Each structure stands twice: as C-alpha cells, then as structure tokens.
Chain A
C-alpha cells in the first residue's frame, strides 16, 4: 500500500482480555518497528524486525507482550491479560533501510 496501515484504529477491551494489533507495512520495507505512546510519556520502543534476523525484543515491557512478523510483511502485536496501564497508542513504523521510518496512524488501546 501507499503507507503503513494499522488496525484497528481504536480498541476498547476489558481488563484481563487478550488483544491483537495489526500492522501492514509499506511493501518492500525490510524493517518494522513497534512503539508505544502513552500520555505525557513520549514514545517507547517495543520491538523491531529486520529482514530474517532475530527481532530485537529489548523494549517489550513484560512477557505479556509478544509480536510476530509473518513472511517478512504483516506484523501482529499481542498483549495477553491486558492491564489498565497498557492503555496507550501503539504505533507501527516501517523502513526500507536505515533511518527512513514511515509511521502508521496507530491503534488507540483502552483497557477498562
């Protein structure tokens, strides 16, 4: 597609439920990133995928968070047993090479 697509754009879930957030990067972009944006906290790095290399998971805040990237394209971020502190905007970005990020519009997650 023309840009990075994220779905859903908004998600409200009950505490304790699992959620899946999807990112469809720009075709041909080998690098894919997930960030979390909390109110007043700026952007927090979560995970990134680069080609066939092992992902850098160093930013995942707990083992309730996981992500996959299938076929070098679409990525899914999964949050298990959601907590209220997981409420945030989850942003995905992709890049064809170094330092050319394109961000999606994000998924706003609200845990009630």
Chain B
C-alpha cells in the first residue's frame, strides 16, 4: 500500500535553483521521513520530522510538515548536479511494528 501522492512526479531545474517537492499522506503519523535514491542504488535517509514539528532544516534541506493537511514539503536550496535522484517521502504510523509507507516519489534532474 502507498500513502499518497507526491508532486511533481518529475522536476527539471538548473544548478543553483531551488527544488521543492510535495508529499501528501492519508493516515495519522508518528513521523515523516525523506529519502533519496540515486538511479539503481540504495536508499539514503535525508531527514526526519516528527508529527509535533512544523519545520526542520539540515544543510541545504528544509522540510515542512502540516498535519492538518496531511502534507509535507522538501526544499533543496542551491541545487547541484549531484542532487539528481529520486526523492521519496515515507510515513511512520503510530502503531508499533508498522513499516514505513512510501509515497510515489519525485524524480529530480539538475542540469549544469
């Protein structure tokens, strides 16, 4: 099962520009996480935001969470070609023993 939609599905930008990806989910959550996946490679954990947090920063990453709208956004500032990858949000529900449920993902392409 998947939580919901991410938009856009694909995003193409120039180096130095900002990239914003959005994620919506359906159920109550304990936290929401963002992952990056380079083509054909494993998942890299980027950032986690808890349900009682509204915004979190990590380097060039800024994540927001709006639990009333069941949505989150990931902003990558001053993008680089190395940021080219697929980005997924994943939600962790309140119930113990539940798996992360992933959104459909956004494919980001940064050209130099």
* Pair from one complex: no
Give residues in B with beta carbon < 8 Å to A. Answer: none
